Structure 1
Amino acid sequence: MQSKEKIKVGISIGDLNGIGSEVVLKTFQDRRMLELCTPVIFASAKILSYIKKHLNLQVDIFGVDDATKAVHNKVNVVNVWRESVDINFGQEDEKIGAYAIKSLKAATKALKNNEIDVLVTAPISKSNIQADDFKFPGHTDYLDQELEGDSLMFMITNSLRVGLLTDHVAVKDVSSNITEELITKKLSTINKSLQVDFGIRKPKIAVLGINPHVGDNGVIGKEDDEVLKPTLKSLNEKGMLTYGPYAADSFFGSDNYKKFDAVIAAYHDQGLIPFKTLSFGQGVNYTAGLSHVRTSPDHGTAYEIAGKGQADHSSFEEAVFKAISIYKKRSEYKELSANPLRKFKREQKR
């Protein structure tokens, strides 16, 4: 691959007191990564130099004024700020949260301006990012506002993809949030993502029940019978391959998930507990449905091990791989859509 073809991977640095900087630097300590892409980190070269020295990491940092000045075969750092910042690993700090948001906003702006091709976000602390100019529970809600489309939290590995009908919603509010409109929107987003981002022509999507045992014919709850089942039937009639709803307690343990291209959970823990159990650090959080590609590792700030050199960078590295793969799939889909004859010939060969 020629350097001019390398994908520019923008990276927001996340919480500097957490493990984000460590997993980012460990990922690009491997020089082979620079043959695959051009990293552009939005932070401070001075701060990252301090962190790399603290962790005894061997990675060369190249400071630039903006993403357009990024140099191939270098670990580029756009200096979003130049002042000194007090790093206290493992501590919750509102000032550090403010720098995480500065990084995210700068990276998102660069993404919107096509100065970078994809965005990979290091973990933030949801409690210390709240401010007058940032009132979002996390990355996804902010990016949903800034980037065109309808966002959906989509946890992915090579063998498992789990989407959510509701994400950061209190358990007591889950059922009231799940409506025919929401189900239709989320499943349509997943269906399109599987086609465009993963190259699956006719995706098969499994949907988990809202209540235990899918409500047991209304004994444990009526939402599955009155809302979920009719909506899935309607989507199937329109040509979408949706299956279920399935009882969540036995779905993953029976390996039933392997029969489908994606699984849709009703709420956060119903989907993420089995996903993280099965993914073993290889999981990636992908925000499907947006105009640009954004991924992140499937873990948080891990304050308890921050600054100790113990963080496993596998998930962040995988997030970089997945962002690149999805970007290429989208480009391929766009090219094929613009050339129907080529698309027809390709499908005839399958």
Structure 2
Amino acid sequence: MSKTENIIVGISVGDLNGIGGEIILKTFEDARVFDFCTPVVFASIKVMNFLQSHFNSEITLNSINNVNQIKDNQLNVFNVWNEPVTINFGQEDLNIGAYAIKSLEAATQALKNEDIDVLLTAPISKKTIQSDTFKFPGHTDYLAQELGGNSLMFMITDTLRVGLLTDHVAVKDVSKAITPELIQNKIDTVYTSLQKDFGIRKPKIAVLGINPHTGDSGVIGTEDDDTLRPTLQKIKESGKLVFGPYAADSFFGSNNYKNFDAIIASFHDQGLIPFKTLSFGQGVNYTAGLSRVRTSPDHGTAFEIAGKGQADNNSFKEALFAGIQIFKNRNEYAELTANPLKKQSKKG
């Protein structure tokens, strides 16, 4: 373990042909960021030196081969590999995808070993990461396997949090995937995360319907009446403040979302289209329900602008600070749970 007292944020470098390297460098060129954390990029010093030169970055890099060499106030680069890597910005390349996975696997192992406190993942290409040994559709499913827990894609900003009942599921399979057990599981995960990760003692959660107009009393599908509505009623009877299902088409436009601590959408685009419309460039993809903290920006590799120096690092920076704050919140929650007297004192 490093002797630094700072929160250590491990960063998987993502697809090197995308904008990941650029947004990492831009974020840590602001020296004030080092007051909040000590970053460790899992890649190689050769790759980072190339990126530093390409983007004319003057940031100080510290090449390390073990965590005892981590230094504060520098961008630490943990050498996962030593061979040279050819970067062709904007190109989909299976070889580059393999290096993205090497970085992710090394960073995840460091997280499991508690050598780092938080994992921040730069964007990957879901196409180029596929191989005989890596068959996950993205970060979330892989991390769920490695870290345990009930993972949930939770898109967050300071004022908006959107979770999903189903994430990377084809639309034709959504209704079959939504079962009472899944609904209960996802709501429990969101509820616990709101308490533990965001410090909300009695969360209010809204759930969006599966069908247009929540089925219009069965005219446009019966899934809302047969599955979603009765399950939500049972959960509400258990004491949780869960409401819905709400018709998704008017929920955000009417500003009703502002009345809740989190919204759970039934499927991917139902939740992510309004989320990204309201917060694009500022949103964070947080994987709730895991044993450790992982965040990511709310965008992809952006191959079309990769290497051009045009990438906006705001979402990546927001993901960095969200991870730091959630880590602190979890520690405080654990301390208060272990020491009820302190909790009572805090209330008073």
TM-score (norm 1): 0.98
1-side partners of 2:280 and 2:164: how far apart?
20
Match of residue 344 from structure 1? 344
Match of residue 299 from structure 2? 299
Measure how far apart 1:5 and its partner are.
2.8
Per-residue deviation, residues 187-231 of structure 1 (Å, max 9, x unmatched): 000000000000000000000000000000000010000000000
2-side partners of 1:163 and 1:128: how far apart?
26
SS in 1 for 2:31: coil
Match of residue 319 from structure 1? 319
Match of residue 111 from structure 1? 111
SS in 1 for 2:327: helix
Is contact 1:68–1:115 with CA below 8 Å preserved after alignment? no
Match of residue 120 from structure 1? 120
Match of residue 134 from structure 1? 134
Match of residue 20 from structure 1? 20
Deviates further, 28-37 or 304-313 = 28-37
For 1:144-293, what aligned pairs fall within 5 Å after superposition?
A: 144-293=144-293
Count of matched residue pairs:
346
Ranges in structure 1 where 5+ consecutive residues have no aligned partner:
none
Per-residue deviation, residues 162-193 of structure 1 (Å, max 9, x unmatched): 00000000000000000000000000000000
Code of the aligned partner of 2:38: T
Measure how far apart 1:69 and its partner are.
2.1
Residue 81 of structure 2 is aligned to residue 81 of structure 1: yes
The verdict on how the C-alpha distance between 1:198 and 1:109 changes in structure 2, with shifts beyond 3 A counting, is: same
SS in 1 for 2:127: coil
Is contact 2:25–2:57 with CA below 8 Å preserved after alignment? yes
Per-residue deviation, residues 38-77 of structure 1 (Å, max 9, x unmatched): 0000001111111111111221111000233211111000
2-side partners of 1:153 and 1:223: how far apart?
22
Is contact 2:4–2:71 with CA below 8 Å preserved after alignment? no
Q: CA RMSD in A?
A: 0.8
Per-residue deviation, residues 71-113 of structure 1 (Å, max 9, x unmatched): 1111000000010000000000000000000000000000000
Match of residue 44 from structure 2? 44
Residue 5 of structure 2 is aligned to residue 11 of structure 1: no
> Share of identical aligned residues, percent?
68
SS in 2 for 1:32: helix
TM-score (norm 2): 0.98
1-side partners of 2:229 and 2:69: how far apart?
53
Measure how far apart 1:142 and its partner are.
0.2
Match of residue 65 from structure 2? 65
1-side partners of 2:176 and 2:73: how far apart?
50
SS in 1 for 2:150: strand
Ranges in structure 2 where 5+ consecutive residues have no aligned partner:
none
Code of the aligned partner of 1:185: N
Is contact 2:45–2:78 with CA below 8 Å preserved after alignment? yes
Code of the aligned partner of 1:304: E
